[in-house]
């Protein structure tokens, strides 16, 4: 694998993380908390399922968290599967919708 994944801008300002076949999400409100206040934020995975009545339902499970790196120049994404990073400049551009997507830095994958 040449790169661990991609961060992309989604509907309503949500951020989507695609790593191989896994897809994670960061809510727009959480991304703002990270960017403006430096708070750790949850990374969630949507798990769609169908109820017994055939009605689609969605479960949201927190799979990890994102934090600013100690240097303040990168966002670290951590989950049970591992960790990866994205430069803060790239994270901001995607969060604002200025860039459609940005690659995550290679290393231990998310």
As a whole number of angstroms, the distance between CA 96 and CA 82 comes to 26
pLDDT attached to residue 38:
94
Q: Is residue 42 in some structural domain?
A: yes
Percent with pLDDT over 70 in the chain: 79
Write the pLDDT tens digit of every residue in 67-98. 999 889 999 998 876 788 999 999 999 999 99
As a whole number of angstroms, the distance between CA 25 and CA 54 comes to 25
Closest CA to 67 of 81, 89, 45, 84: 84
pLDDT attached to residue 46:
67
- Residue numbers of the domain that contains 80: 6-103
Rounded to 5°, the CA angle 4-95-103 comes to 20
- Over residues 44-65, mean pLDDT: 70
Q: Is residue 40 in some structural domain?
A: yes
Q: Is residue 51 in some structural domain?
A: yes
Q: Is residue 22 in some structural domain?
A: yes
pTM: 0.82
């Amino acid at each position: 694998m040449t790169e661990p994944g991609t961060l992309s801008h989604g509907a309503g300002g949500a951020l989507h993380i695609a790593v191989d076949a896994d897809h994670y999400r960061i809510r727009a409100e959480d991304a703002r908390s990270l960017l403006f206040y430096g708070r750790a934020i949850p990374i969630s995975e949507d798990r769609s399922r169908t109820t017994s009545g055939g009605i689609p339902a969605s479960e949201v499970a927190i799979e990890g968290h994102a934090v600013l790196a100690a240097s303040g120049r990168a966002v670290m994404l951590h989950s049970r599967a591992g960790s990866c990073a994205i430069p803060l400049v790239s994270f901001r551009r995607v969060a604002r919708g200025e860039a459609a997507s940005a690659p995550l830095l290679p290393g231990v994958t998310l």
